[in-house]
Structure 1
Amino acid sequence: MKKERITGIDWIRAFACLSVVWIHAVTQVLANYDLPIPSVEIAKLSQMAFIFATPMFVMISEYLLSYSYQSKAPQGFWKKRILYILVPYFTMATAYAVFNTLLNTMTIESFLNAMRSFIFFAGWHGYFIIIIFQFYVLHFIFNKYILKYNPYFVTAISLAINIAFLHYFRMTESPGGAIFDAIWQSYARVMFPAWIVFFVIAYYAGRYSGEWMAFIRRAGSGILLMAVMAMLFIFYNVVEGHYIVVSSRRVDVLFYTVLVFLTGLYLTTYIKGVPKFIKLISKYSFSIYLLHMMVLILFSRYLPIELPALVFGITAFIIGTFGSIVLAWMIKKIPGSSLLIGQVDRPAKKPDSTPVLQTRKAN
């Protein structure tokens, strides 16, 4: 039987993608305007409200993977993902190194430094690709070795590992030296233990989607309420100065992201169909994620008029989103462009003979 398309994922993917653009649009506001402290705090809170963006984006990737591939990797799986997901990590990192060099010092040294930072230390917003690729590997490890264990036990262990990992790197400093400094400053944020609970939740939610959706329909209002409470708790931590860094690698964001993801699945059960606008954002989401920073920087630097901060932020968000779509639409006309921005127009899939849903056996 052919697998049903999960229409709710289009909504959630589009929401996560737009959230990423909004967070970085606000960053441009903070970088270009000398705002009073209360306005800065409001701007940061508006970022924190959507801070789930990147982890939810990688959760979507694993959810779909677990829903579709419940045994071993099919023929061509790794080739496609290396070509159209991993290769763009290197090509777009190179493009951003060239972009930054042209806008700033225009020296070979600055270009090489940017290349070193972006490629070897994941020092650009495309770092999520490294996380997704680790999820690919983990997915098939779970299929073969971990699936036999109780999901509640595995989830609890993953949550403990995730919290301990984040807490350790937040509370300790690098012992010093190039290797440890690289781990503390760069590699810790892309190592899978920092994201493992997102993987595990998405893995079980996708694999046992029938059971999960039945639970979400029953408990949806409670999940929604908990998501709001989790957001308010994040706001409290920021306002009180307990945890002010705007980052998705925070313990409070772990729970918030999972709850927002489940809330998204719940709310989309009440929506029939997917509007063309949401389909457009979902279709170009990977390209938007890769290109929007370039568009935002150009907008901020070459805007010919001065706008109020709020108008600037909203305009930057709109330009960052649709400018990226237009840029991706033009780039995809070039042969080999999928090695830069991924596959925008995916070929139709052959019918899948695997069951639509798999139900976990009782222990």
Structure 2
Amino acid sequence: MSQQKNRIEEIDYLRGFAILAVIAIHTSGNFTKISNINLLLIINVIIDVFSHFAVPLFIFISGFVLSLNYNIPLSKKLFYKKRAKSILPQYIIFSALYIVLNVVLSAINDGLTLPSITEIIFYLLTASSSYHLWYIALITQFYILYPYITKKYNEFADNNRTFYFISIILIIQQIWIIAKATTETYLNSIAYFNSIVYFNAIIHILLTRVFLSHVLYFVLGIYICQNYKSVKAKILKTKYWAILIVLIITLILSILWVKGIIEYGNYEKVPKEYFIVLDLIGSLYFPFIFLMLLVISYSFSNKKSKYSNLILLLGKYSFGIYLIHVFYIQIMVEIIYPCFSIDYNQWIFYPLLFGSTVLLSYLNVQQIARLPYSEIIIGINSDIRK
């Protein structure tokens, strides 16, 4: 196994954009609680629609970085050992943190509720201690499958059939999106399945964590890494087209989301099959956002500013911020906001929640990174702290 030591700065900028988008999703997503169709809801729908590139971009980055650092043939044993060390301790620590946090919040708001041993095991096995930890289950699958995916990719690439392989992967992802939504709709419509305790919840958890929903982005990461110089040159020539396409699709998807909310009364009543087409479009939409952000990242690398340095720092601490940011969101929304009578119907709710979450998460992770063995807690390597 050959491991390169070069660090591509643009990737850290992409991580910075991705983590900001994650926090934007978990902030703007509160629009689902707004009962009336108003400007506040529409703005947050647009932010939410656009920001959903976050996890796909993280998966894209993972494919890129793994392809950069690990060549075929590789020692699977050593590879899996390193990947496990980079994600499992952090996952266990933060799963425990969120279990404890939920117990504390239940005591404050509704009366103390302690999870059973069975529930705790269920949370750990399904990445369900907090709503954002599903990403850990997703990325773990890609770590496990990377040696096999990259081997198959190289077989096609060696025969000049790379785009054929990417096309197959796109079709597989689209089929999975349709199958997932169809399965969930069918199961929800059958009284027998609804009568089985936790059945639908477990099926939903399993379906939302299967790697096929994001496999295209992972393969695109491998492709961009393997063809970085030529792709970079092409991207810089077509940057305005990428930006225009992103703006147009964002507008179209936002209109369709608002239309669904109007048609069915509120977001929670919109049936899952309504979003199938939107998700299928997303498979093509997100790569254009990647291209747009790559152009911005190239610009930041060539011309430093206080804004670019901020994105760079957020990118370098992004994994730790991802793990901890929901802690601050829950504290703000469930404890601090009620003290000041702030709720999701007020304009101040959203920018205040976003800004405070970014700031507190970053400062917290920065301090943790100074501790011995911080890699075990937040996955920050020593070279990042230098």
Q: Settle same-fold status: TM greater than 0.5.
A: yes
**Does residue 68 of structure 2 align to residue 67 of structure 1?**
yes
Matches of 2:295 and 2:91, distance apart in 1 = 33
**Greater RCO (Cα-Cα under 8 Å, separation 6 or more):** 1
1:148 corresponds to which residue? 155
Task: Quote the residue 1:53 is aligned against.
Answer: 54
Tell me if the contact between 1:7 and 1:273 (Cα under 8 Å) persists in the aligned partners: no
Counterparts of 1:102 and 1:220, CA distance in 2: 48
Could you tell me which residue of structure 1 aligns to residue 96 of structure 2?
Answer: 94
Structure 1 residue 305 corresponds to structure 2 residue 340:
yes
SS at match of 2:71: coil
| Aligned residue pairs, count | 347
CA separation of 1:348/1:148 partners in 2, compared to 1, >3 Å: closer, same or farther?
Answer: farther
- Structure 1 30/233 Cα, relative in aligned 2: closer, same or farther at 3 Å? closer
Residue deviations 1:18-62, cap 9 Å, x none?
A: 11112212235765xx56322334322221121111111121121
Q: Is the 8 A contact 1:162 1:195 kept in 2?
A: yes
Shift of 1:76: 4.8
1:119-148 CA deviation, whole Å, 9 max, x = no partner?
222222021122222222332213333312
Contact 1:29 1:313 in 2 (8 A): no
Q: CA RMSD in A?
A: 3.2
Q: Distance in 2 between matches of 1:35 and 1:178?
A: 30
What is the distance in 2 between the residues matched to 1:269 and 1:234?
28
Match of 1:5 among 7, 27, 31: 7
Aligned to 2:260, the other structure's residue is in SS state coil
- The 5 Å alignment of 1:24-173 reads 24-28=26-30, 36-38=36-38, 39-73=40-74, 76-105=78-107, 109-110=114-115, 112=117, 115-123=120-128, 124-149=131-156, 150-172=161-183, 173=186
Q: Secondary structure at the match of 1:319?
A: helix
Q: Cα gap change, 1:67/1:241 in structure 2, threshold over 3 Å: closer, same or farther?
A: same
1:333 deviates by: 4.6
Q: Distance in 2 between matches of 1:121 and 1:192?
A: 14
Please say if 1:324 is aligned against 2:353: no
1:344 and 1:187 map into 2 onto residues whose CA distance is 31
The answer for the alignment partner of 1:254 in structure 2 is: 283
> Partner of 1:310: helix, strand, or coil?
coil
Report the CA distance between 1:156 and its aligned residue: 1.0
Asked if the contact 1:284–1:344 (Cα under 8 Å) also holds between the matched residues in 2, the reply is: no
How far apart, CA to CA, are the structure 1 residues paired with 2:286 and 2:347?
Answer: 26
Q: What letter corresponds to residue 120 of structure 2 in structure 1?
A: M
- For 2:264, the equivalent position in structure 1 comes to none
C-alpha contact (below 8 Å) 1:84/1:342 kept by paired residues: yes
Higher helix share: 2
How far is 1:273 from its partner?
A: 4.7
Alignment counterpart, residue 215 of structure 2, candidates 196, 216, 223:
196
Q: Matched residues in 1 for 2:354 and 2:326: separation?
A: 11
In terms of mean alpha carbon deviation, does 44-53 or 108-117 score higher?
Answer: 108-117
- Residue 277 of structure 1: aligned partner: 310
Instruction: State how far apart, in whole Å, the 1-side matches of 2:385 and 2:373 are.
Output: 19
C-alpha deviation, 1:281, in angstroms: 0.6
Q: How do residues 289-304 of structure 1 correspond to structure 2 at under 5 angstroms? A: 289-300=322-333, 301-303=335-337, 304=339
Unaligned 5+ segments in structure 1 are 350-363
8 Å contact kept, 2:329–2:353 = yes
Percent of pairs identical after alignment?
24
**TM-score, structure 2 normalization:** 0.79
Paired position in structure 2 for 1:355? none
Structure-2 separation of matches of 1:82 and 1:2: 19
C-alpha distance in 2 between matches for 1:286 and 1:260: 21
Counterparts of 2:293 and 2:44, CA distance in 1: 24
User: In structure 2, what is the equivalent of residue 287 of structure 1?
Assistant: 320
Q: Map of 1:234-249 to 2, 5 A cutoff?
A: 234-241=253-260
Q: Is residue 216 of structure 1 aligned with residue 218 of structure 2?
A: no
Task: Flag the 1:12–1:332 CA change in 2: closer, same or farther, 3 A.
Answer: closer
Q: Deviations over 1:265-313 (max 9, x none)?
A: 1233333155431222112111111111111111222244345822221
User: Corresponding residue for 1:353?
Assistant: none
